[in-house]
Structures are given as structure tokens and as C-alpha cells.
Amino acid sequence: MQDVLLVGDEKINSRLFIGTGKFSSNRLIPEVVKASGVQVVTVALRRVDFDSEEENIVNYIPRDCCILMPNTSGARTAEEAVRIARLARAAGCGNWIKIEVIADNKYLLPDNYETIKATEILAGEGFVVLPYMSPDLMVAKKLQEAGAVAVMPLGAPIGTNRGLKTKELIRILIDEISIPVIVDAGIGKPSEAAEAMEMGAAAVLVNTAIATANDPVGMARAFGMAVEAGRMAFLAGPGATIEIAQASSPLTGFLRD
Amino acid sequence: MSFYWEYQRYKGFDFEEFFSRITEADIERILCKDSLSETDYLCLLSERAEGFLESMAQKAHKLTVQHFGRVIQLYTPIYLSNHCINHCVYCGFAAKNHLPRKKLSLAGVREEARAISAEGLKHVIVLTGESQKESPVSYIKECANVLKQYFSSISIEIYPLEVAEYEELINAGVDALTIYQETYDEELYYQLHPAGPKRNYHYRLDAPERCSQAGIRSINFGALLGLGKWRTDAFFTGLHTNYIQKRHPEVDVAVSLPRIRPQLGGYVPQYVVSDRNLVQYMLAFRLFMPRAGITISTREQAGFRDNLIKLGVTKMSAGSCTAVGGRTSGDEGTGQFEISDQRSVAEMKNMIYSQGYQPVFKDWQLF
């Protein structure tokens, strides 16, 4: 049986999603996509320069093999996120939207409350909504009820490369939420992406760790392989881990019948 | 609340004595930390820290790439009017100076906008002298209405306003504010601003707070380096920036590090701020506020600017001109100061790519 990720109506083969904001050149984007097999690419609408053929980042995303997922970076309220999403769709960026509502520029932590409001409105307007969120079970349930097709909890604050600091909370979301849980932000190394996949994340989104590597294309390839390995391990069902070795003289060995 | 109370905490504080007590071990300890206190920041501005510039630079570079990526955002200034009723002793536009006074008509603004946008620039900063008669808020608003047809981000660098006036400009499409306190040294400030509305130190100091209340997206702080002691001005600029970030986390904060340039009026800076000093300030600030923007204008020379890219800069001006209507009618002696980096936008773009960075023309739009 083929293992595909279903997001809305889309069947996606690669469980690595990438961001685009930090590359030294947009020309790297198609190379990164090719090397890693990525099929979902997010772009901040604020960066899209529709007036310039050369500067327009969207022109560097191979649309034949990738889904463009515009994001609402810069939105501080639900209302602003909604306006950005509508503009993105009107500008021909498709139906997908990654909601980012951030009113804290020091840590770039999302505003869960405004994110739920924006999700409700945009899902109602027919968008395929993937909200970026702080991992919280009640919020994830409300996002699901509001029409989100997936939730995107952060592993650590954006750009920190600190890894899966919120692991226990993400694990709860994976156990309790029926829509895909896609770990977004904070993943700094391929091993951490593999770890997220092993515990059952549906996908991971990586930007900083790839874009700021010395060799972004090589790093993208490494992430692609790590995500695939982590997914395979999850599907294979990892053996139970125990804290101590199996005792050779069991304490209950005297129970014969 | 006012930043003045933060500033007051250091009234009577002997900075020289504090700096003299800092040891190399203090600096080494600070460089191992993930998060710096304001005292740590002050230590990194000391003479003692000058021996650690390379370590500071390595760390600043990593932090900047991590938080901003390998990108440099480009913008350019548009001077709307050089009429000014202030008497700042260091400024070419000061009321007493004899220079051709000029103000752009709305048609003139449109012509400048066309010339600038033809080069691909999307972010502009508009500047004016202070004159209720020649450049009132209503005029700046009309200019913004023209400019937003050509640009995706409009910043203002004008005299301080009331909250309602900032709101008016924000509603017209302005999204960013640049305001320099010039110097945080209150006594020196009064000497440098002998007359005119700008003499009001407090009103200027609280402008970022008022503009935050009005809902601005980003604010750029700065002290004009060379007017006062740079180490303390750098310190208070950082504190002011941090103060707004704490009180208004929704505002994106940044600093500029402008060094005073030759200008009509011939003011000679009291303090020399060397290249090494400027770099130390930039690095110390980056380590103190890893997520804040850092802007370097064409006040600095081309080669020096190129070298600064890897040290923490996030925004640079390109194709600048400080004269009113300078893009379309040339500089008829109306400029505020002499610029040092005369390169065109295309040349800047190539230079940034050659450094392994991406020049970004658009990073905002009116939603």
C-alpha cells in the first residue's frame, strides 16, 4: 500500500515541506526542491513581488511538481490574516493558506486565539487552511472544528534550530487529533525531523535549517532522507523502549502456574 | 510610562568608572551567554570589549543568518521638503542656513516615485524638514497617497507627531517610522537644539511610544553618532529599542547607526566615531537584540558597507539622494548632507549577490 499524506483533497508523497524566506538566492529553490523531492513550498505573500519577473519568488517554485502554500507572515490579527489570504488567492497563488498570526516580534510565537478566528473565516470561504500554532490540545481541537485540514504546531520558536522542545505536547496532539499534525518551526537538524516523524507527525516544515546551511541543497537532501527514514520507522512500529535490561533472575519466577 | 524613566535610572551613573572596572573575564563570560542583560550590553560597548571584536563578529553573524537568513532588504529615501524651522546646529536644513528651499508638488512626488520604482525599489522612506506651513501632516498624507501607488512600504522620517496624527498617516498607508533621538544626553541635546520645536527633548523621546500606540508596524531608532559620547548613546539607543519591544511586542524594531556627515553649516562633530567603533556598536547591539533589524545607509562608504553585510546588517539604502526632487531635477544644492556610497541600485544588487546574500526589494505590502 502506498503511503501518501492526505491534506484536504491533495495526495502528497513527500512529507517534508519547506519555507523560502532565508535563501541567499531564489535560484536555490528549484535545486532544493529537486534534491529533496519536496512537494509543498510555503512563501510569505509580503515577499511576493508580482511586478518583477526576476524578483518574483513564486516564479522559482516549480508549480508542476509543487503545491504553493502562501503564508500570512506579518499578520498581527485574524482580520489581517484573512485579508492577506484573500489577496494571495486573488493573485493566483492558489487555494492553500498557512495561517501565521504573530503579534510578538521577539519570540515570533503565534496568537492561538486569533489563529482560530482566522481559520474559521477562511475555511468557510473554501480555503485549504493549515494554521501555525503553539501546541495546545484544546486549541488544536478548535482548529479542527473550525475547518483546518491540518495543524502546524511549533517544535521551538521560529529560526531557533533548537529542535523538538515541545515534544510532549506535540505527542498529545498526534494521539488525540484526527487531522494531520505537521511540525513547523524549530527543527534544526535532520535527526530531529526523523524524531518527529518516528513519533507519528504527518510531516515537518523546515526553513532556517536548510536555507542557512553552508550547502542548502545537500542539507535539503539530508532532510528529505531523514523524513523518509522517520516515516518508515513509524510505519514499521518501533519496538518498545525500556529503562533497564531484562532481569535474568525475575522476581516473579516462582509463580509456576 | 515614558522611556525617560528608564533613562533617569542612569542619571548620575559614572559610565567611565564602570567601563574602567570591566575585565577580559567579564567579556568572555558574556560571550558565552545566550541571552544578554542590559548591563552585559553596556560591557560589550566598553573599550575592554574592543579586543574581542572577532569573537563578537562570529556570533553576530551566526545570529543574524539564523534569524534573518542570507538576505538584505533594500530601500531608498525621498526628500519631500527641506523647509525647516528648527535650528539643529549639525543639520544642513537648519533654518539659519542659506540654501535653496524646495518642496515637491504632488506631481513632483509622482515623478520621483516613477524614477525610483523604475529601478525596482519597493520600499521608500520619506523625509521632510519641520514646517507646519510647508510640510504639515495633511501634505505628508497626500504624498503617501501618491507613493502607495508605486511602493509596497512607506516609511516616514519626519518631525514627531501626536498619536492621532500618526494614526492618520498609518491609515493613509504609512507602515514604518524612523526617528533618531540624535543624542540621549539631555544637556547636550539642549545645546545642539537651541531653538525651534525640536528643542523639546521629551516630546521627541516619546514619539516611538505614541507611534506604537497608533498601530505602526515597525520603528527604527538611532542616535546621530559624533554628536555625543558614542558608547553611551549606543547604550541608550539599545535600551530605547528594547523598551519598545517589551511594551509593544507587535512592533518590529530596528536601529540605524548613522555617523554624522559633512553638511552645509559646517558643524564639526565633537567626537570621532571610527570604523572600529561603529562595528563594535553593531556587534554589541546584535548580541543584545538578536531579532532586531540593523540599517546601514549611504552615509557610509561603499567598501565599508560591503564588509558590514556579514556582521549583522539587515537593511541597506541604495541609489540614495538627499536633495529634494534629486532623482528628477538633480541636486541644486538642496541636499541635507553628502552621501558616501553613490552606487546605483543595480550595482548594489550585484554586490549583495556577490557576498552570498539575496537583495530583497519587497518585504511588506499594504494589506
Asked if A22 is an active-site residue, the reply is no
Q: What is the pLDDT of residues B4-30, one digit of tens each?
A: 999 999 999 999 999 999 999 999 999
At B334 the pLDDT is 64
Higher model confidence: residue A143 or residue A255?
A: A143
Residues 6+ apart with CB under 8 A from A223: A16, A36, A190, A193, A206, A209, A210
At B91 the pLDDT is 81
| pLDDT over threshold 80, residue B329 | no
Is residue A253 one of the residues assigned to a domain? no
Q: Do A103 and B250 touch (CB under 8 A)?
A: yes
Q: What is the pLDDT of residues B190-242, one digit of tens each?
A: 999 999 899 999 999 999 999 999 999 999 999 999 999 999 999 999 999 99
| pLDDT over threshold 60, residue B306 | yes
B180 near B158, Cβ under 8 Å? no
Closest chain A CA to residue B218 = A105
Is residue A250 one of the residues assigned to a domain? no
Cell of B101: 528651499
How sure is the predictor about B267, in pLDDT bands with cuts at 50, 70 and 90? confident
At A221 the pLDDT is 96
Is residue A252 one of the residues assigned to a domain? no
Find the helix or strand (DSSP H, E) in which A141 lies.
Answer: helix A137-146
How sure is the predictor about B323, in pLDDT bands with cuts at 50, 70 and 90? confident
Average pLDDT, chain A: 91
Q: Do B362 and A47 touch (CB under 8 A)?
A: yes
Is residue A254 one of the residues assigned to a domain? no
Q: What is the pLDDT of residues B91-145, one digit of tens each?
A: 888 888 888 888 899 999 999 999 999 988 999 999 998 888 889 999 999 999 9
Q: Quote the CA–CA distance of A161 and A209 in Å, as a whole number.
A: 7
At B163 the pLDDT is 97
Longest dimension (CA), chain A: 81
| pLDDT over threshold 60, residue B165 | yes
Chain A residues closer than 8 Å to B35 by CB: none
| Domains held by chain A: number | 1
Helix (H, G, I), strand (E, B) or coil at B22: coil
A113 near A80, Cβ under 8 Å? no
CB B355: neighbour CB atoms within 10 A?
16
**A positions 92-131 inside 8 Å of B (CB):** 103-106, 108
Residue B253 forms contact with A (CB below 8 Å): yes
At B128 the pLDDT is 93
Query: What integer is the mean pLDDT of B149-164?
Result: 96
Q: Which of A25, A55, A212 sits opposite B361 (nearest CB)?
A: A55
Find the helix or strand (DSSP H, E) in which B174 lies.
Answer: strand B174-182
Higher model confidence: residue B184 or residue A52?
A: B184
Query: What integer is the mean pLDDT of B273-280?
Result: 94
**B positions 118-147 inside 8 Å of A (CB):** 120, 122
At B157 the pLDDT is 95
Helix ranges (H only) for chain B are: 3-8, 15-20, 24-31, 38-44, 53-68, 106-117, 137-147, 163-171, 186-192, 201-205, 207-213, 230-247, 275-288, 302-308, 326-329, 345-354
At B61 the pLDDT is 96
| pLDDT over threshold 90, residue A17 | yes
At B42 the pLDDT is 97
Chain A residues closer than 8 Å to B70 by CB: 22-24, 211-212
| pLDDT over threshold 60, residue A1 | no
How sure is the predictor about B266, in pLDDT bands with cuts at 50, 70 and 90? confident
How sure is the predictor about B253, in pLDDT bands with cuts at 50, 70 and 90? very high
Q: Which 8-state DSSP code applies to residue B46?
A: S
Q: One of A98, A141, A165, A167 is an active-site residue; which one?
A: A98
Is residue A117 one of the residues assigned to a domain? yes
CATH code of the domain covering residue A135: 3.20.20.70
Residues 6+ apart with CB under 8 A from B211: B161, B163, B166, B177, B179, B219
Is residue A74 one of the residues assigned to a domain? yes
What share of chain B in percent tops pLDDT 70? 97
Q: Do B70 and A22 touch (CB under 8 A)?
A: yes
Residues 6+ apart with CB under 8 A from B118: none
Is residue A244 one of the residues assigned to a domain? no
Q: Quote the CA–CA distance of A97 and A72 in Å, as a whole number.
A: 8
Torsion angle (degrees, nearest 10) of CA A156, A160, A164, A168: -30
Q: Do B358 and A26 touch (CB under 8 A)?
A: yes
Single pTM value for the model: 0.91
A148 near A129, Cβ under 8 Å? yes
Range of the domain at A153: 5-236
Q: Which 8-state DSSP code applies to residue B324?
A: B
Is residue A108 one of the residues assigned to a domain? yes
At A242 the pLDDT is 65
Q: What is the pLDDT of residues B334-350, one digit of tens each?
A: 676 777 788 889 999 99
